[in-house]
């Protein structure tokens, strides 16, 4: 029975990796697989998705490079600025209640939907350094605390830096995801919050799905990515509202 659960978790990881590479928000698939497949409580399921995030970022980076798309040099500086947030967020994930988690994620998805439906206007001004640093810190904080939707938050924050070019944003965010996910995984592993068998099964599928999707996104271009982002953000928002309603009953 456990072998079937592991196999289904790998399949869930494939979907999670592919969608997260293209847009983001599919961490909810991995979260549901660990909660309902392995019966893990949110306090364990949430930290156990971080290893899959490391795999997604790593194989996305490899896939982009092999597809002939360069990783922006600025992504490495953005990842370093995000690192402190990831360490703080991981500590919050261990201690805060489920209602805070669900409410925060619903708010982030609503904000991203508003941004994408409104449209991103290219700007020649990258913004003040402290604003860019704060935005990257928020990406790291989100990865450490929630993980679900980190790609969407990265899109929200990095879109202006890359003039709304979602393909460039996707290439940059894979570096940010690798650094922040690795930091939060290490923090949660030290705290004993990670369930390793489900985490590894999810990561195997997520890495494969992410690698495949990196080729797809390079071929399809930015316009296709925007449509996927809108759909995933809407579905994730609805799922969190459902979970909040269940907690209130």
Task: Give tens-digit pLDDT for 151-176.
Answer: 778 877 888 778 767 778 878 888 99
What gap in Å lies between CA 64 and CA 123, rounded to an integer? 25
For 155, residues 6+ apart whose C-beta sits below 8 A from its C-beta are 23, 24, 112, 166, 169, 173, 229
Share of the chain above pLDDT 90, in %: 37
- Determine the pLDDT at residue 175: 92
Torsion over CA: 166, 168, 173, 176 (sign): negative
Task: Give tens-digit pLDDT for 36-70.
Answer: 899 999 889 999 999 999 999 898 888 888 877 78
Share of the chain above pLDDT 70, in %: 87
- Determine the pLDDT at residue 216: 65
What gap in Å lies between CA 178 and CA 107, rounded to an integer? 24
- Determine the pLDDT at residue 139: 93
**Structure-model confidence comparison of residues 70 and 199, the more confident one:** 199
Task: Give tens-digit pLDDT for 63-113.
Answer: 888 877 788 888 999 999 999 999 999 999 888 888 898 898 888 878 878
CA distance readout (Å), 26 to 73, 86, 166, 180, 220: 26, 19, 17, 17, 19
pTM of the shown model: 0.81
pLDDT tops 70 at residue 215? no
């Amino acid at each position: 029975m456990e072998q079937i659960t592991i196999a289904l978790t790998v399949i869930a990881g494939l979907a999670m990796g592919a969608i997260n590479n293209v847009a983001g928000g599919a961490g909810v698939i991995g979260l549901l697989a660990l909660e309902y497949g392995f019966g893990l409580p949110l306090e364990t399921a949430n930290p156990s998705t971080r290893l899959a995030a490391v795999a997604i970022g790593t194989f996305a980076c490899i896939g982009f490079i092999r597809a002939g798309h360069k990783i922006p040099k600025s992504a490495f500086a953005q990842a370093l600025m995000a690192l402190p947030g990831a360490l703080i967020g991981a500590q919050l994930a261990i201690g805060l209640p489920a209602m805070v988690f669900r409410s925060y994620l619903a708010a982030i998805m609503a904000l991203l939907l508003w941004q994408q439906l409104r449209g991103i206007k290219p700007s020649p001004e990258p913004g003040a350094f402290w604003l860019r640093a704060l935005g990257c810190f928020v990406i790291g904080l989100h990865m450490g605390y929630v993980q679900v939707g980190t790609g969407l938050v990265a899109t929200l924050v990095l879109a202006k830096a890359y003039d709304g070019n979602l393909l460039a944003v996707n290439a940059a965010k894979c570096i940010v995801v690798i650094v922040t996910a690795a930091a939060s995984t290490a923090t949660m592993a030290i705290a004993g919050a990670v369930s390793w068998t489900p985490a590894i099964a999810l990561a195997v599928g997520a890495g494969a799905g992410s690698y495949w999707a990196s080729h797809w996104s390079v071929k399809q271009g930015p316009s296709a990515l925007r449509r996927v982002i809108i759909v995933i953000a809407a579905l994730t928002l609805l799922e969190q509202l459902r979970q909040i309603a269940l907690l209130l009953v």
